[in-house]
Each structure stands twice: as C-alpha cells, then as structure tokens.
Structure 1
C-alpha cells in the first residue's frame, strides 16, 4: 500500500478521511465520520448564526479579559499598591496559564467532548471574574488571574474544534472562522471601552469591569448550552491520555513563558541565577516532550502499543503537513503576535504614562483599532476563498510593522491624526489576517479528530509570540531608559518613574522599533516560504479542487481508493 507522507499513518491504516475531502462521499454523509467523528447534522440559518455567535463571544471574552485589565493597570496599581514593574504579572498570569495548557485541554476536548470543555471554560472565566472583583491583595489578583487562564485554555480550542466540525469546507466555514477571528478586536473594544469607562466613572473602578465581564461570561455560557449539540465523544479505540507528554509540555511552556515575563524584572535581570536555571530546565522539558511524542507516534504507527504508550498528545508530524508550510504558518503566527501585542501594550503605556491621558481618553484613541479589526475580518471572509495565503499574511504583517514604525518615529507634539490614528488603523490587519487565514489553514490540514488540538497549537504559538514580543521589547525599553537617563545624570529607580522625559520617549521609541523589526521579519519570511501555499478558504462547489499547492490532500480520493483495494 502506498504511503502518504502528509497524513498520519494511523489514519492510513484504519479509516482515511474520505468524507472530509471526497466530494462523492460528502454528498451522502455516513452516520459517523472517519477517525471516530460523527458527521455534523445540517444546521438551519438560525442555528448557524447562534453557533457562530456563541463561539465568537468566547473569543470576545478572552480578549476583553486582557484589554480591560490592561487599561485599568495604572488605577489598579495605585489602589492595591502594585509597583509598576510588577503590574505586567496581572496580564502575564492569565496568558501564562492559558498558553501553557491549550494543547492538553484541546486533546481532552477532542476526546471527551468539545461542548463540555467550552462550557466548563466559560464558567471558570465568569466565576473567577466575580472573585477578582472582590480581590484585595496583589497575590490574590495574580493567583485568580492564573486560574482564570485555565478557562480560556479550555474554551478557545473547543470553539475552534466545534466550528471546524460543524462546518465542512465551504463559504460558511470561511465566514465562521473570519467571524470568530473578529471576536478578538470586538472583545478588545469591549474590554477597553467598558474597562476605561467603568474604571474612571464608577465608585468601584476596575472592580466593576470584572463584574461586567462576569455577566458576559454568563450570557456566553447560556448561548453555548442552547446552541451547541450534545457531545458525541470521539470513538478512537485508544482514549488514554498522554499524561507524561502533558506534564512535559506544560512544565516546559510554564518555565519558558515565566522567564520571558520575569527575566526583565528579576533582581539581576537575565543574569539572575533562577532565570538561567529555569531557562535550561524549560528547554530540557520541551526537548524531552518532542522526543517522547516522536516515540509515541512511531509506536502507534508501528502498531506496537503497550500499556505505557498512549496515543501522543500531539503528532509531531503535524508540523510537517502541507510540506512544512503548516510549521511556517505557526511560526508566522508567533512573530505576528509578538509585533502586534507589543504594539498594543506599549501604546497604552505611552498614552497614559508619557502623555498622561486618563483611561477614557486612551480608549478613544484606540477605538479605530477595533473598528478596523471588524472590517479586516469581513475582508477575510469575502476574499479568503480567492486570495492566496501568502498575500494575506505578508500584507497583514507588513501593516503591523508600519504601525509600530509610526510610533518609533512619532513626534509627541504632533496631532493624533498624524501618527496615532493611522497606526491604530494599520496595526490590527496583521493579527486579523494571520489569525483568520491561519486557523482556516490549520482546520484544513488537520484530521477530524485533531481539530481542537490543531486550534490549540495555533493559539499556543500566538500566546508564546505575545510573551516573546513583550520580553524583547521590555529588555530594549529598560536598557534604553537606563542608558539615556545615565547620560542625563539620573540613576533610574526600579519602576523607572523618575526617568527624564527625553529618556522615556527614547525608550518607548526603541521598544516600537523592536516590534517593527519582528513584524517586518515575519513579512519577509512569508514571502520567501509561503509562496505556493495556495488558497486556504473554500467556495461551495470548488472546495475540493482548491487546495494547498504541493499538498497531497487533493489526492486523497485516489489514496482512499488505493487503501481500500489494499
């Protein structure tokens, strides 16, 4: 029997994805799809809208829980007594836990039910939002934010898996994924707008924001309970969990993201003993995880399964799908979110700490980001079935780089319309283009039982990108702040609050220069490697003929027939 290098051997040996890619088979869907998946039932227009809206609401909630907190950080720091140099942990605690457990919760969702994972995750985000509204100390806030991230780690991969399973390749799938991606700017708008208004105008300031988000969580939970079909767990023969793999990847990511977040504020910076030690341990765990997953995949493909060799948490061969273009797409997601999240972080500090604007005035200046984000995703929904992936990703990353460039050369005395407004408009194109087209690409090359894991992998790369970007730009900011302040004869204190204004401006500009370089590097990489990646969206009637160039997915019909004969 011929071997197909772009498809897992286990599926070749058992039941290939005929109904995922075969037009004739798709015309008469069976009761169950290959790989243990049940065929999705036809949805009415109302059911389709309800399902997409609910999944998008979870994405909105996830982003609102970051932007609402980000805009309230200065107020929160003053009221609770959190030093400026530790404020980032209110954000990092959430991204740390959510980013590190995405793969594990994605696997659980694929195995035991995506609806269960979705509802549990949204419930955790809502309940802990209530608790955060009553938190009185820095440690309580950090711990609850860390636990809250577990909810996002469960809900977001489940959402992607639900959408990928409910909507086969078609115009509707493209719209569903673009709408889901639009949840990021919409959620950011809700978070920044409501967060800014409630923080400034209510008696409870930032606490009111968390209680408002708890209400959104309750509405999303209700929407999920009503719009999602009851779970039909995967019928894979071996449902064991790769606990060792889950431990290795989670521990490795925890150490790496912790180092990226804490390295700049450690007692001796990156030279601090525990930073170096944890970096070594984190890299060791990640290398061990990859080696273990390769071994498990080999054992599974060789049908040499023992009691101690469960199915891998993630097939390492997944990275090689589409002749390695999936791996490149994941790397570009990391670079894009490094540039975009750095822009989002520093622009708020620039407006509030350097320009001394209040939260509401800061929010008003960021509104164009969210409006443009919605428009960008509408563009993706309309053209992702016509425009090759390389054009979307390259254009998006270039525009994110230009947004950072505008603030890298900004004149503070100039009007907002000269630098701030165009930067706000351009910044979101990269995140929205890369997320929408990237998740469509992942859904396309993943098998039915891998959809939540594939979505979790993409989300993990964006989380790592955010942490990587903030770490790099923070190093640049702190270094330049001390350097310019020393030239002015000022010894900067720990939080940098006594730095001269010219030193602060130079430091902000250099941070934006760094983010600009990251985004432009991603754009160049996209041009060089994603050429020939083809169109990732599908129009009805042409979805099986428009595939990734060089990918064997389009040849699966012939492969299925060959395997049947064998």
Structure 2
C-alpha cells in the first residue's frame, strides 16, 4: 500500500479508523490465543537454539561412548551446522509454497525422531546421521516458526513484542545449551541432551495442530530448482570453509578452497535469480534496504556475541581453571541479560526507532566488551566478567530484536517465509562464522609465544576480544549510514 506521496507503507503506517473517522493506534495487547501461539512457537525455537551448543562440553564423553576419534568429534557439530545453515533458505521458501504449519509439524517430527536416534546411538555413523537430520529439522522449523509468528501477529507493537521474546529465547538458548550440556553430562549422561528434544517434540506435536492455523499464499509459484541447488551448495561450502578455518587455519586448503567455491556459487546464484521466471529469492527483495542491511546486522549480532562466549570459555577454563560445568554456569548471567534485552528491545524501538536501537545496541555491546580485553589471571576478575557479560547480553538482544523487525517489516505475508528464511540463515551463519574467525585471531596470537601456557591464552583472548569490540563499533557505523531514521510512528526502514 502507498500513501499519496507514493511511499510504501508498512503495517505500522496502517491504523484502524472508526466509523466516526477517528484514528486509533496499532494494537499493542496480546490476546489469549496469541499467547498460546507464542508458547508453542517459542518452545520450538528455544529448543532448536539449545541444540547449537548443548553437546559442545560433552564431546569427549560422546567420543568415548560411541567410539568416535578425536579428529571425528568435530563432525558432531559440523554436520549439524552445515545442514542448519545450508538448507534454511530453501526451506524458508518451501514453507511459503506448501504451508508453514505443515513444514513446521514435519520438521518437529523429524527433530523428535532424530533426537531419539541420537540418544540411543551406539556407533559413530548413527550419531552423525542423527545430527544431520537434526540440522535439517532446524533448517525447516526455524523459518517456518518465524513465518507463523510474523503472519499471526499484526505488524507494529504486538509483532515487536513477539519478535523480542523470540530473539531473547533464541540467544538465551545458545547460552542455556552450554549450561545444560555440562549439567546433564556431569549428573546424568550426554544422551539426555537428545532425549529432552523428544519430550519437547511430542508436546509441540500435540498442541500445535489445535493452536496454529495454516498459512500459505493463494497462488503457489513453481519452486526455483536451479536457484535452490546453487544457493544450497554455496551455503554448504561457506559454512564448511568457516568451520575448517577455525579448526585448522585460514591458510589451509580445506578452509580457503570451499570458501572460494562458495563465493563463486553465490555470484552464480545472483545471476540465476535474475533470469528465472519465479526466483527462490526475488532480486527486488534483496534490493530492499531493510532486508539487505537488516540481515547484515543480524549476522554481525550473532557472530560477535556467540564468539564472546567461546573466547570467555577459553579464559575460564585455561586461565582461571574452571571446570566445564562451572564455566557453563558462569554464563547464566549472560543468559539473564539476553532475556532482559529481549523484553526491553521492543520498548527501545518504540522510543528511539529501529535504526537508532540497532546502533545503540551495537555501541553498548562494544562498550561492554572493552573491559573484557583487560581481564587478568586473578580470581577477582570473574566479577568484571559477570557484570560486563550481563550488559553485553542486554545490548546484543536489543540489536537482535532490531534486526528481526528491520528484516521482516513492510513485506506481504506471501514473502514472510522468504524474509524469515533469510533472517534465519543470517543468524545461523553468524553463529557458525563468529567462532572460527575469533578462534583464528586468538590462535595466531597464542602461537606467537614460545610456551602456550595460561599467559599465552590470556593474550590471545584479549586480542580477539579487541577485534570483537571493533567489529561492534564498525557495525554501528555501517547501520547508521545505511538505514533510514525510523520511528514506530512510521515504521519505515
């Protein structure tokens, strides 16, 4: 819809006009049915976020139980992240074409079945196959759930609240996974990290059909098979290259060869999309400033904060001597900060506008990261870590809520699956990309020392955290220059 000046209006520009001609503001209250929808969708999203990190601290125990070599342990994480990031854009479009609720339910069923297989696995190939299936389920459920959320709530304050809660739980899920993985491994068994998913999947499959309505476009276009194949191969190559860079080095052929191949395939994908009649990703959508730069913001938000968790894990265990369980529990404060940030994020957007909220979020996150650069080997530094990670978690979630609002607003319902597929891809590639990049920075510094002791690790972590803070500042500057000034009165980005 456009106004008399020819400007495109988003849902925030549309108000309800009474018979007397009075204009009322967009609805801000959440109905009882909408609360049920939120409960189902957020439960699924939180569970998927937990899966990204829940097995990290349990890898040695898993290797011992199923007979997986030290070199093969990386595939427990890599198999999952490859599929979760590589297929998310494809499944986001499939959700638009064949029904978001249908794909959501199928994905949840696959998650439950694959988690049961993973929890009972006795051989490496069964475990890796289960992680592949979990990754595919994540690629299907996450964009479908986001599409159901954005099409179930009107654009404006109500949708912002829903996206804020979703962002908070997604970010908190990554931190919770690290805590829960340590608790389950120490007190029960790593297999319970899989079995929890089975219980959640059964609960969601029982409730979702009665709560969620099917959502799909009236006319179904043909699936862009060439574009789907090219972009999936491109994303698989990029994610694989990033994981190899973190495990080996950026100069390793196993890293730069797939990264180069992925870059070439992404260029090819751009040309394919301009020539097919019904593209997987319409070029007009990518040309929207809000979609393009909103996804850049999301990628940077997830890359910077998840890599901070990785770097501080090195600090806690290799410098302060914390156990994996104690390290995980130390991030509970960060998890609390993400929940607070998700709650206040929509309010910040309502007060200062989307662009300003994004910029402020990244700047505060950078300010919270700077003190971490000066962490020392004394036990008292843990208090600095707890305070600053809380502040950084709040700021990061404000940025994530701003990213979701920016990347999904002003689009028709039939393109919400695509928009959310892009947003999901950005967050998953951000999670995958941040850790290997910061790991490579820290490792390069550590290798400069004759002895790789606690002092060397501390120095490497400090350098990487400096780069991380600088990335936050650069993100803020980039978004300040590329996004239009917005307010909830207009909703334009």
Aligned to 1:344: 309
**Residue of structure 2 equivalent to 1:411:** 376
Tell me how far apart the structure 2 counterparts of residues 420 and 121 of structure 1 sit (CA, whole Å): 38
The offset of 1:147, in angstroms, is 2.2
Measure the CA separation in 1 of the matches of 2:228 and 2:186.
42
Q: Give matches, 1:12-411, under 5 Å.
A: 23=15, 45-77=31-63, 79=65, 87-188=73-174, 190-202=176-188, 205-229=189-213, 231-236=214-219, 238-266=220-248, 269-296=249-276, 309=277, 311-321=278-288, 324-411=289-376
SS class of match (1:385): helix
- Given the superposition, is the C-alpha separation of residues 179 and 232 from structure 1 closer, same or farther in structure 2, using an over 3 Å criterion? closer
Change (3 A) 1:333 1:189: closer
Distance 1:79 1:347, change over 3 A: farther
The offset of 1:140, in angstroms, is 4.1
Shift of 1:372: 1.5
Aligned to 1:525: 478
Change beyond 3 A, Cα 1:417–1:70: same
Per-residue CA deviation, residues 17-70 of structure 1 (Å, 9 max, x unaligned), is 99996557999xxxxxxxxxxxxxxx9932111001111111101111123223
**1:189-213, Cα deviation, whole Å (9 max, x unpaired):** 54344322211112xx211222123
Pick from 547, 552, 556 the counterpart of residue 491 of structure 2.
547
Whether the 8 Å CA contact 2:246–2:435 is kept in 1: the answer is no
Distance 2:129 2:464 in 1: 29
Which residue number corresponds to residue 23 of structure 2?
Answer: none
Tell me, yes or no, if the aligned pair for 2:339 and 2:394 is still in contact at 8 Å: no
CA contact (8 A) 1:329 1:438 kept: yes
The structure-2 alpha-carbon separation of the partners of 1:138 and 1:500, relative to structure 1 and needing over 3 Å to count, comes to farther
Q: CA, structure 1 residues 218+138, in 2 after alignment: closer, same or farther (shift >3 Å)? A: same
Q: Measure how far apart 1:74 and its partner are.
A: 4.8
Aligned mates of 1:162, 1:137 — CA distance in 2 = 37
Residue 451 of structure 1: CA displacement? Answer: 0.2
Distance 1:88 1:406 in 2: 32
Match of 1:494 in 2: none
**2:22 corresponds to which residue?**
none
Distance 1:473 1:232, change over 3 A: closer
TM-score of the superposed pair, with normalisation by structure 1: 0.78
Using the size of structure 2 for normalisation, the TM-score is: 0.89
Indicate conservation of the 8 Å contact 1:18/1:25, yes or no.
no
- Residues 19/386 of structure 1: CA separation in 2 closer, same or farther (3 Å cut): closer
Q: Are 1:534 and 2:478 matched, yes or no?
A: no
SS in 2 for 1:206: coil
Structure number with larger C-alpha Rg: 1
User: For structure 1, which runs of at least 5 residues remain unmatched after alignment?
Assistant: 8-16, 28-42, 297-308, 489-498, 538-544, 550-566
Aligned equivalents of 2:164, 2:10: Cα separation in 1: 26
Task: Give the equivalent residue in structure 1 for 2:24.
Answer: none
Matches of 1:186 and 1:501, distance apart in 2 = 29
CA distance in 2, matches of 1:19, 1:411: 50
Alpha carbons of structure 1 residues 25 and 19: separation in structure 2 relative to 1, 3 Å: farther
Distance apart, 1:87 and its partner CA: 4.6
Equivalence for 1:447: 412
Pair 376,20 (structure 1): closer, same or farther in 2 beyond 3 Å: closer
Task: Tell me how far apart the structure 1 counterparts of residues 126 and 311 of structure 2 sit (CA, whole Å).
Answer: 25
Contact 1:186 1:370 in 2 (8 A): yes
Q: Shift of residue 368 of structure 1?
A: 0.8
Change (3 A) 1:133 1:18: closer
Taking the aligned partners of 1:208 and 1:26, their CA distance within structure 2 comes to 55
* Rounded Cα–Cα distance in structure 2 between residues aligned with 1:5 and 1:148: 46
Distance in 1, Cα, partners of 2:79 & 2:45: 18
Partner of 2:26: none
Give runs of aligned pairs for residues 507-518 of structure 1, distance below 5 A.
Answer: 507-518=460-471
* Equivalence for 1:420: 385
**Aligned-pair CA distance for 1:175:** 1.6
Mapped partners of 2:486, 2:268: distance in 1: 34
Q: Distance in 1 between matches of 2:141 and 2:59?
A: 25
How has the CA–CA distance of structure 1 residues 383 and 402 changed in structure 2, closer, same or farther, with 3 Å as cutoff?
A: closer
Match of 2:445 in 1: 480
Check whether the contact 1:72–1:359 (CA below 8 A) recurs between aligned residues: no
